[in-house]
Amino acid sequence: MDLNGYSTTGFYDELITDAGTPRPAAVPLMDRLFELEQGEIQQRQRAAERALFESGTTFNVYHEEQATERIIPFDVVPRIIESDVWDRVEKGLKQRIQALNHFLTDIYGPQHILQDGTIPREYVDLDNPTFQKCMTLHPPRGVWCHISGIDLVRTDGDEFYVLEDNLRCPSGVSYVLENRRVLKQTFPRVFGSLPIRSVDDYAEKLLATLEHLAPRGIDRPQTVVMTPGIYNSAYFEHSYLAQQMGVPLVEGSDLIVHDGFVKMKTTRGLQRVDVIYRRIDDDFIDPGCFNPDSALGVRGIMDVYRSGRVALANAPGAGIADNKVIYAFVPKMIEYYLDQDPILPNVETFLCGREADCTYVLDNLDKLVVKPANEAGGKGIMVGPHASQAERDAYAEVIAKDPRGYIAQPTLSLSRVPTVVDEQLEGRHVDLRPYILYGKDIHVLPGGLTRVALRKNSLVVNSSQGGGTKDTWVLAQNGHATD
Amino acid sequence: MLLSRVANSIYWMNRYIERAENIARFIDVNLQLSLDQFTPASDPWGPLIDVTGDREAFDKLYDSTTRANVMRFLTLDREYPNSIANCIALARDNARTIRDIITSEMWQQINAMHITVKRAADDVIREDRPVDFYRSVKEGCLLFSANTDATMSHNEGFEFCKLGRMLERADKTSRVMDVKYFLLLPDAEDVGGALDTVQWAALLRSVGALEMYRQVHGVITPGNVAAFLILDRQFPRSLTHCLEQAQGALTHITGVHNGHSSPVQRCVGRLRSQLQFSQIDEIIDFGLHEYIDDTQTQLNKIDESIDKAFFRFTPPAEDIFAQQSAQMQQ
């Protein structure tokens, strides 16, 4: 294995310099890779995939008759982030989540930021019936986003940009934990020789974050993870996190509101629940309050929540800050609530709801990435430079019908990381999703999920569209290993 | 602490696996038996359908009890809920929803069985050595219970495993006895008449009982066969043994010893005592068929009372699949 023919032209490669040599932090890893015999890297790649499959780290493509489980493609070459780079990212993420939290308290309360025009009222989804019902809610300890995933990208060696804030049901942390476990088996020597920050305490920190929300005065709060059920694509993660934390995994049908509390149906009768980590959308958690057709929720749970007798993570209503339009205003929120300059910049964003922006976007569709404000998983995105004229024209019509529902951003030259392709390495574009826990303190998981676009030249990293994952190594300071 | 829904899944996962094992065993034995017959019996495969109690279902799908039809029906037929293929698929579905409760060995074992059975497709019916397939199903199911015993903590969930397995086993043993015994000895007066030892040995083999029977009773007599399969306290497939084990599991689950106050423990206790205090002569006089019939009625009642006491399951809404899969995970 060698770097002959490895190209970094036109893009920032996180591990390899333009001269074709490994960056300092990547030297031990690359040295080891160079030692590998012909075919060995693929062997390790396959062994890693097998380990993931056997442990059930799978993603569901679930049809009613057949369950097809496959792993999300995993690449054994990790991404490496230097300690001081990460420290800055961490500060920026903590700053950002604090600002978002202030925003939510404000929006569901006095709405100062709207009253004084800092954010135009029409950009906030106040007409949404679900969010309307969340007005005047007071989540426990004043925190709305207990678990968030803030997507980051890099275009050069200096700056990480925020791509998106996920404040509802961010998923993927189970892959982070499993990828780490598998990579320790794949490259034990390299791993041991570098001071890599540990991710193994995530479950414990998650549990602490959740228990922190329990109604006061309870000696040993009962926490549960609430899943939509086995047909959900992220079911593995729900079950994995429940197991790692040692708490029950429940579905809506396992719970019932009784005597003013939420209780679980057990073989010994009803047992009280104090904290619920719910991986179910707001609209589905209470058919008595929100969507009446929901079969996934618990009737009356919002009353119990309102009365402070059960805690829900993330808090209902957090979603109002989680769309691509509000994203554009987050830097303003940081200035407004914290009186600070944003440490992590946004990607330049055009709001089609603003006339000037919309004109610009329609004139430059061939240069921009256009996204619907409210979809997840890369759905509905058009990458202008890769689309045909017909596709761009069709999209222009879609925007014209609902300009406020779309935003656009310049196509970014995302950074690349060496990835195994046949028997060699080639650069592939990546992004990063760090996970942030907001409990008594704010804790950022070192690194997070690196998602890689496996198809040559592709910029789309989502797993549902041909993406894969890598382990992310954040180095500790001063050479002190913590793993 | 065990969620009702989880207990329900554990119970049924084990019932389905035990069911699949028993069907594989029956077919295996019948295959052997059909090789031993110089003049084939008039309907060598029909009785297997009768054992399942699903004659009606079979008749809807097939017109005659040929070897191919019966084997297909019982092994692979997707339209028949109790075929080996469906039992394993259902066991796996249940296992899937309780992945976090069972060990990874248990899950991998069920998954492997599911893949094997899926792959068998039609080949097993036409193959020269279908025996290999049924042996592998039997062994797979046994491996599953061995894994459960060895890797699962003997907690409440484990007791539900045992409960499901024992009640299913009692049910299947009683059924095979009912059908085969009736075929071999239609009238109580025939006791003492000429015996088709081969057939009797086959009955014992169907429930894996031949060698142990010989150790206890030696020569085959109808009375002793019935006694062994119904009353023997030590043989693992006898009705008495199964009920004792089931009662033990219930005691652990409820935490109540000698429980007479809960309906479910009363139900199980009643059947167990009945078995414990019966004598074989009384049973034969009463009528073996009637006795077994009554046993099965009680087993059904036990199943219902377990459901009421621990599961009280509400059926899922109609569009649950659509709702669950549509939940956005960012």
* Subunit contact A231:B325, Cβ cutoff 8 A: yes
Alpha-carbon gap, residue A248 to A223, rounded angstroms: 8
pLDDT at B44: 79
Does A483 reach chain B within 8 Å, measured CB to CB?
A: no
Q: Tens digits of per-residue pLDDT, B103-155?
A: 878 888 898 898 888 887 667 666 667 888 898 999 999 999 999 999 898 99
**What type of residue is B222?**
P
Mean pLDDT (chain B) is 86
| Residue numbers of A between 271 and 290 with CB closer than 8 Å to B | 271, 279-281, 284
Q: What is the DSSP letter of A24?
A: G
pLDDT of B41 higher than 70: no
- Determine phi and psi for B313, rounding to 5 degrees: -75, 135
| Cβ-based neighbours of B34, under 8 Å, separated by 6 or more | B40, B44, B45, B67
Q: Which of B168, B173, B165 is nearest to B142 (CA)?
A: B165
Tell me, yes or no, if A376 comes closer than 8 A to chain B by beta carbon.
Answer: yes
Share of chain B above pLDDT 70, in %: 88
pTM of the model: 0.84
> What ipTM does the predicted assembly reach?
0.78
Helix (H, G, I), strand (E, B) or coil at B245: helix
The pLDDT of residue B28: 86
Question: Closest Cα to residue A77, out of A412, A421, A413?
Answer: A421
- CA-CA distance, B246 to B18, in Å (whole number)? 14
Facing A229 at nearest CB: one of B104, B107, B324 = B324
Pick the range with the lowest mean pLDDT from A315-324, B27-36, B218-227, B244-253. Answer: B27-36
In chain A, residues with a C-beta closer than 8 Å to the C-beta of B2 are 266-268
Write the pLDDT tens digit of every residue in A116-171: 999 999 889 898 989 999 998 889 999 999 999 999 999 988 889 999 999 999 99
Question: Number of helices (H) and strands (E), helices first, in chain B?
Answer: 17, 0
Least reliable range by pLDDT among A99-108, A404-413, A439-448: A404-413
Specify whether the CB–CB gap between A183 and A191 falls below 8 A.
yes
Residue B45: pLDDT band by 50, 70, 90 thresholds? confident
Nearest to A62 among B253, B310, B325 (CB): B325
Confidence of residue A440 (pLDDT cuts 50, 70, 90): very high
H/E element, B139: helix B130-151
Beta bridge partners of A417: A428
Distances (CA, A) of B80 to A213, A442, B77, B125, B303: 50, 55, 5, 16, 21
pLDDT tens per residue across span A207-241: 999 999 999 888 889 999 999 998 888 888 998 99
Mean pLDDT, chain A, rounded, equals 90
Amino acid A64: pLDDT: 42
Cross-chain Cβ contact B3/A248 below 8 Å = yes
Q: Tell me chain A's radius of gyration from C-alpha atoms.
A: 23
- Per-residue DSSP letter, A475: B
Mean pLDDT of A89-108: 97
Closest residue in A to B160 (Cα) is A267
Provide the chain A residues 200-229 that lie in CB contact (below 8 A) with chain B.
228-229
What's the pLDDT score for residue A478? 60
Q: Do B100 and A149 touch (CB under 8 A)?
A: no
The rounded percent of chain A whose pLDDT value lies above 70 is: 95
A57 part of contact set with chain B, CB < 8 Å: no
pLDDT at residue B180, as a whole number: 73
Cβ atoms B299, B292 nearer than 8 A: no
In this predicted model, what pLDDT tens digit does every residue of A39-59 receive, in sequence order? 899 999 999 998 888 777 776
Say whether A156 sits in a helix, a strand or coil.
Answer: coil
Calculate Rg over the CA atoms of chain B: 20
How confident is residue B206, by pLDDT bands cut at 50, 70 and 90? confident
Nearest beta carbon to residue B328 from set A55, A237, A281: A281
